[in-house]
């Protein structure tokens, strides 16, 4: 039977996670298609668990900031839904893609409407709508970037979260594929702003430098029906929160989403910076970071850590 959270022995749980990951530290391949990410030490490992009362349980490099990359797509989605509402679903679908993060193949058959907001094409279309909601163009892009950053800082209760300009520049310079996705969608009329304006906001969101501790804390509202359980702030409605979690469950890890659901059983989102965020509804959030990735772009050691954590806690959306 699952233990009540208050009965969990966190010292023992974190020690078990540490034992599980130690033999694998350094495994996987660091993302190198964005040159600024290629030089990160693959032996880094950090984990932070944020609980209902705001207390944190941390391990390893939990306070070192890393590149959030696609985990930012969850926050962009939440903010965009708040600003444009259901109209977002004219621009992007809600189906798993079964394709890699930057795939273009489905876009032609599906007339420029990406499968979901957590693949690159879908996140670019979502960011485009967010930029448009601020009046569009480069000014709208700046506002969208600022608002997302301010939101992350406010929710984390920590101003020390920033855009890493070197990573953003590196992403832009190596961003041919993302440009191709954006122009392809534009050719179907599914971009409301000049492509470069929306992409600049997208690259900046992906380049936010954040620690596991900050990320787990900032996302805590997702585990408590859209309410920050510590401050009481309603960040999202319960219904919207549940729907974001459904999308994370089905599509949070590209063509690795089924495997992740099977092994971890919690809604999550991975990023090629090696971070993974998972949400345990009613319990808390977990952010883990280890830069070595599997073929689908999910942190290898991070997944092992999460697998052990859910084994220890019994946390699962499946009962
Ligand atoms: N910024 C990355 C890209 O657009 C995000 C990919 C990821 O983290 O999965 O390629």
Q: Atom 4 in ligand 1: which residue has the minimum CA distance?
A: 120
pLDDT of residue 7: 87
How far apart, in whole angstroms, are the C-alpha atoms of residue 48 and residue 50?
Answer: 6
Say yes or no to pLDDT of 14 above 60.
yes
The CATH class, in words, for 70-206 is alpha beta
Q: Which two tokens stand for residue 85?
A: 């509402």
Mean per-residue pLDDT of the chain: 96
Say yes or no to pLDDT of 118 above 70.
yes
Per-residue pLDDT tens for 256-280?
Answer: 999 999 999 999 999 999 999 999 9
Work out the average pLDDT over 101-108: 90
pLDDT of residue 2: 57
Work out the average pLDDT over 2-28: 92
Nearest atom in ligand 1 to the alpha carbon of residue 207 is: 1
Sign of the dihedral defined by the CA atoms of residues 178, 180, 183, 184, in that order? negative
* Spatial contact of 68 and 206, defined as CB atoms under 8 Å apart: yes
- Ligand 1 lining (C-beta closer than 6 Å): 69-70, 101-102, 120, 171, 178, 206, 271-272, 297
225: helix, strand or coil: coil
pLDDT of residue 1: 45
CA of 8 to the centre of ligand 1 (A): 35
* Spatial contact of 259 and 268, defined as CB atoms under 8 Å apart: no
In the chain, what percentage of residues exceed pLDDT 70? 99
Nearest atom in ligand 1 to the alpha carbon of residue 178 is: 4
How far apart, in whole angstroms, are the C-alpha atoms of residue 148 and residue 80?
Answer: 10
Per-residue pLDDT tens for 191-228?
Answer: 999 999 999 999 999 999 999 999 999 999 999 999 99
Q: Atom 2 in ligand 1: which residue has the minimum CA distance?
A: 69
Say yes or no to pLDDT of 318 above 50.
yes
Nearest atom in ligand 1 to the alpha carbon of residue 297 is: 9
* Spatial contact of 132 and 140, defined as CB atoms under 8 Å apart: yes
Listed in order, the ranges of the chain carrying CATH 3.40.710.10 are: 5-67+211-313, 70-206
- CATH superfamily, domain 5-67+211-313, is DD-peptidase/beta-lactamase superfamily (3.40.710.10)
Nearest atom in ligand 1 to the alpha carbon of residue 70 is: 8
Cα 249 to Cα 30, 167, 205, 278, 305: the distances in Å are 24, 28, 21, 9, 18
């Amino acid at each position: 039977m699952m233990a009540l959270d208050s009965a969990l022995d966190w010292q023992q749980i974190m020690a078990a996670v540490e034992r599980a990951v130690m033999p694998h530290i350094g495994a996987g391949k660091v993302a190198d298609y964005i040159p600024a990410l290629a030089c990160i030490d693959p032996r880094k490992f950090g984990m932070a668990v944020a609980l209902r009362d705001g207390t944190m349980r941390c391990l390893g490099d939990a306070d070192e900031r890393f590149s959030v990359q696609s985990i930012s797509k969850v926050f962009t989605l939440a903010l965009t839904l708040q600003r444009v509402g259901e109209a977002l679903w004219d621009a992007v679908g809600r189906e798993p893609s079964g394709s890699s993060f930057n795939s273009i193949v489905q876009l032609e058959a599906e007339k420029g409407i990406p499968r979901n907001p957590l693949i690159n094409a879908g996140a670019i279309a979502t960011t485009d709508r967010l930029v448009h909601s601020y009046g569009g163009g480069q000014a709208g892009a700046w506002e969208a970037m600022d608002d997302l950053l301010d939101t992350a800082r406010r929710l984390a209760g920590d101003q020390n979260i920033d855009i890493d300009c070197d990573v953003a520049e590196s992403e832009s310079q190596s961003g041919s594929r993302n440009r191709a996705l954006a122009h392809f969608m534009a050719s179907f009329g599914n971009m409301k702003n000049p492509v470069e304006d929306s992409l600049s906001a997208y690259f900046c969101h992906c380049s936010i430098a954040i620690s596991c501790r900050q990320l787990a804390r900032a996302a805590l509202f997702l585990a408590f029906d859209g309410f920050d359980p510590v401050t009481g702030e309603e960040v999202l409605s319960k219904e919207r929160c549940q729907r974001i979690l459904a999308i994370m469950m089905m599509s949070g890890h590209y063509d690795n989403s089924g495997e992740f659901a099977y092994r971890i059983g919690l809604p999550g989102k991975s990023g090629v910076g090696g971070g993974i965020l998972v949400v345990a509804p009613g319990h808390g959030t977990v952010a883990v970071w280890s830069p070595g990735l599997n073929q689908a772009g999910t942190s290898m050691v991070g997944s092992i850590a999460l697998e052990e954590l859910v084994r220890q806690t019994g946390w699962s959306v499946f009962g």
